[in-house]
Structure 1
Amino acid sequence: MAPGSDALLTAIAPAEPVEPGTAVIIATSGSTGEPKGVLLSADALRASATATHERLGGPGHWLLATPANYIGGLQVMVRSLLAGTACAVLPPGRFDGELFADAAAPVLREDGPRYTALVPTQLTRILDAGGRGLAAARAFDAIIIGAAATPPALRDRAAETGVPIVPAYGMSETASGCVYDGVPLDGVEVRIGPDERVLIAGPVLTHGYRLRPDLTAEALVDGWFRTGDRGRLADGRVEVLGRLDDVINTGGVKVSAAAVERALGACTGVRDSCVVGLPDAEWGEAVAAAVITDGPVEIADLRAAVRATVGAAAVPKRFEFVDALPLRGPGKVDRGAVSRLFPGIG
């Protein structure tokens, strides 16, 4: 839980009796911004940790490099507990490659598989800095990348530098990542609903939301968790296309923010981006893009790429070039804060 977050503390309701079968309550605002307490059983945590070890290559030694109050960090501790190994810990606060290398040292001295889990921002900093941090990252047997989507350019950089990443998709409600590099973990089922909604079933699921039977009934239907994400299945692999609510209605045309981000990410020099809809008197919403680059980039080239792959209506009308995207939680982009990066939006 984020320090000082009264709303998330209220969602946990520490003074109220805990629902039966609950081992832990994860406070999360998810992608909707509405604070919720996700209920997870010991069986769900164990199922996720066991399936993760099976996928990665067996129980091993772990470095905890993300906050333990979020599900990704908590699961690192659960995996270490089940493996019977000591969990090394990266001190909270500032993150850079040198600190990562120091924290990783005791794990990398161990025999057997060595693992950690990072968010995309942490991986980017390691790749940018090079040196000891990059050397340490290369020495792990697997680095799970979660909490947010891994941009294609970041995936390519990791491959080029020999960092063994495993992009993961999941959430608090699935006891952490449940789809690794497009393939569901053993015991996890994924299907796509008629509205392109990603549906998930399996032993890793939450059994509800803290003191919110209404939200529980809406999210869990016939054993399936109804995510808020759009996706598709291609050759047995899961591809997440973006949020169901990330659609921008501009001039009567519905544009997927995630599709525009993918088009921008394929452009030379673009490291990352976030696309939002801004209020506009003429268009209703105007497509706007906050972009991180590795060097000079021509806006005309970005617009041309989006027009060619997504369509004319999806071409951003406004651009802001930034050094970093505002984040909330463990590496998730704060889209509300991104909107406020544009002059006149507050």
Structure 2
Amino acid sequence: MKVDLSVIDFLDRAETVFPDRVVFVDEPDQIAESWGEVTGAEFARRARNQAAHLDALGIGVGERVAIISQNSARLACGFFGVSGWGRVYVPVNFRLSPAEVAYIVDHCGATVLLYDPELADTVADLDVAHKVMLGTDSDVEWFFTDREPAPWEPDEDATATINYTSGTTARPKGVEQTHRSLWLNASTFGWHAGVNERDVYLHTLPMFHCNGWGMVYASLGMGVKQVVLRKVDGAEILRRIDRHGVTFACAAPAVVAAALEAAPEFDPVPGRDRMRVIVAGAPPPTQTIERVEAELGWEFIQIYGLTETAPLMTMNRCRSEWDDLAPSERASNLAAAGSPTIGMRVSVDAYGEVLARGNHVLEGYWAQPEATAAAIVDGWFHTGDGGTVEGGVVTISDRKKDVIISGGENVSSIEVEDAVFSHPEVAEVAVIGVPSDKWGETVMALVVRTDGSTLTEEALIAHTRQRLAGYKCPKTIEFREELVRTATGKLQKFKLRAPYWEGLDRQVN
């Protein structure tokens, strides 16, 4: 017997096995009225209502439903109410500028756009067939009226979500993930991370990031209480861990740094000896890993992956063989990307690029067949990252693509360069990532001004803020007389980066 895999499987189990258990605790501090605590049965009812309302609007199977929102129970509901009945869910990065959001909504061809009221200005000029502000007024139609949606026969090869990633190009690419790939990523991740029905999960990670890395699905299927955090704040993270008995979270290194910074305010530190934190986005310094164990008392787990791999490729979790090691040695071991997860094959080609092959590698880039063909060659996905595989352990040593990961967010150097170069007093520009203890990397622009220009760092940064999301803008600008190029006129960014990374083992932080 073969039964097609579908994201609805996770919702069905929550409703059947945990109907009266609270599975979501919504963010209390938001403009839209909070959903508060939601049980498994009620969450499933709201997902069905959402699907039924899409039926009433005439939104057919395969049509795209985009949403832009900070973390919220409404956003989480769409992973099931939209995808679970055959439509394609497109969670959009709420930090993007209006122009960036407009491109994504247009590119995916969304016929519905749901948006958080706090982001009304971001979407004000968008023309979409159905543009709906989430909140108390729309809840009645979308979530609270008892209706049954038209049945959809699950197709595990159907696209369930499109997640846009900046990658290294000036325009983002839409990563298509199928029901099968999302199901297997969530189940594999949950297995490796030890997710169980006694857990409580804190959403410090934005849900638009690879669908919360798949933990929205894995946690719901196991009846895990999911505590929604709308905006990252170190002290608030620790307060919610204490208040709700949180046992695990997924986070970017910058979030871990925020928790470490806030820890001295608490005695004892919430979650000590029960919390596990799963970190990705950029490998944090060994010292940070050691501090997580020593100062927070949390288990540190590192994973490596990309939006294109849904994202789980490797996991590095403390092995029993390491229990007797000194904390510094254990932290050093945990600094590697880790070993391939079940079902994932990882290799390195002759050029040192890390390749991946597995069941949750992307189906393709939405409406970009040439980009898909370039990324998936002979059955292997090309990550664009440089590294090694030794003894079954993957170590990322450099980023072959010119992508900067700052606070867990991908920043395209080409995109930033375009924004900087649009200033009339910029003659040349190269954008690189430089190391940061807090953010992993920050964006730096190396700029050659036009003759006679008195352009200042502050003025140029302000100029980029009119065109880019804040996290993409340069944090520092160095003015130079020239940018050294090859004989063919190409910039060698690895040479430009080298002085800033001198003395570090890896060219990612």
Give the TM-score taking structure 1 as reference length. Answer: 0.68
Equivalence for 2:287? 153
Matched, 1:43 2:180: yes
Matched, 1:192 2:326: no
Equivalence for 2:254? 121
Alpha-carbon distance, 1:221 to partner: 1.9
Inter-CA distance 211–169: structure 2 relative to 1 (3 Å threshold):
same
Aligned residue for 1:135, secondary structure, equals coil
Equivalence for 2:209? 70
CA distance in 2, matches of 1:151, 1:10: 39
Equivalence for 1:251? none
Inter-CA distance 96–273: structure 2 relative to 1 (3 Å threshold):
same
Which of 144, 149, 159 aligns to 1:22? It is: 159
The size of the alignment, in residue pairs, is 271
Q: 8 Å contact 2:385–2:399 — kept in the other structure?
A: yes
Inter-CA distance 341–8: structure 2 relative to 1 (3 Å threshold):
farther
Q: 8 Å contact 1:62–1:107 — kept in the other structure?
A: no
Equivalence for 2:478? 342
Q: 8 Å contact 1:62–1:86 — kept in the other structure?
A: yes
CA distance in 2, matches of 1:217, 1:134: 52
Aligned residue for 1:342, secondary structure, equals strand
Superposed, 1:76-115 pairs within 5 Å as 76-90=215-229, 92-93=230-231, 95-105=232-242, 107-108=244-245, 114-115=247-248
> What are the Cα deviations for residues 324-344 of structure 1, in whole angstroms up to 9, with x where unaligned?
xxxx99xx974x624x43356
Q: 8 Å contact 1:101–1:133 — kept in the other structure?
A: no
Equivalence for 1:174? 309
**Consecutive unaligned residues in structure 1, runs of 5 or more:** 248-256, 282-327
Identity of aligned residues (%): 25
Which of 347, 353, 374 aligns to 1:218? It is: 374
Alpha-carbon distance, 1:280 to partner: 7.2
Aligned residue for 1:186, secondary structure, equals coil
Alpha-carbon distance, 1:195 to partner: 1.1
Equivalence for 2:399? 243
Extract structure 1 runs of 4+ deviating beyond 6 A: none
Q: 8 Å contact 2:203–2:226 — kept in the other structure?
A: yes
CA distance in 1, matches of 2:219, 2:258: 25
CA distance in 1, matches of 2:164, 2:439: 31
Q: 8 Å contact 1:11–1:36 — kept in the other structure?
A: no
The structure whose residues are more often strand, as a share, is: 1
Inter-CA distance 132–245: structure 2 relative to 1 (3 Å threshold):
same
Aligned residue for 1:23, secondary structure, equals strand
CA distance in 2, matches of 1:69, 1:215: 22
Give the TM-score taking structure 2 as reference length. Answer: 0.47
Inter-CA distance 225–29: structure 2 relative to 1 (3 Å threshold):
same
Aligned residue for 2:389, secondary structure, equals strand
Alpha-carbon distance, 1:55 to partner: 1.4
CA distance in 2, matches of 1:9, 1:104: 35
CA distance in 1, matches of 2:106, 2:348: 33
Alpha-carbon distance, 1:106 to partner: 5.7
CA distance in 1, matches of 2:187, 2:268: 28
Aligned residue for 2:110, secondary structure, equals coil
> What are the Cα deviations for residues 273-326 of structure 1, in whole angstroms up to 9, with x where unaligned?
558683679xxxxxxxxxxxxxxxxxxxxxxxxxxxxxxxxxxxxxxxxxxxxx
Which of 136, 150, 174 aligns to 2:270? It is: 136
Equivalence for 1:208? 364
CA distance in 2, matches of 1:220, 1:273: 28
Equivalence for 1:309? none
Alpha-carbon distance, 1:96 to partner: 2.0
CA distance in 2, matches of 1:133, 1:226: 46
> What are the Cα deviations for residues 9-45 of structure 1, in whole angstroms up to 9, with x where unaligned?
33433149xx961011112212444311110011111
Alpha-carbon distance, 1:153 to partner: 2.8
Q: 8 Å contact 1:144–1:167 — kept in the other structure?
A: yes
Q: 8 Å contact 1:65–1:73 — kept in the other structure?
A: no
Alpha-carbon distance, 1:176 to partner: 1.8
CA distance in 2, matches of 1:29, 1:89: 25
**Consecutive unaligned residues in structure 2, runs of 5 or more:** 1-91, 113-155, 317-337, 404-431, 450-467, 482-509
Alpha-carbon distance, 1:206 to partner: 0.9
Larger Rg: 2
Q: 8 Å contact 1:119–1:147 — kept in the other structure?
A: yes
Inter-CA distance 41–106: structure 2 relative to 1 (3 Å threshold):
farther
Aligned residue for 2:477, secondary structure, equals coil
Q: 8 Å contact 2:108–2:366 — kept in the other structure?
A: yes
Inter-CA distance 74–238: structure 2 relative to 1 (3 Å threshold):
closer
Aligned residue for 2:225, secondary structure, equals coil
CA distance in 2, matches of 1:84, 1:195: 45
CA distance in 1, matches of 2:271, 2:312: 20
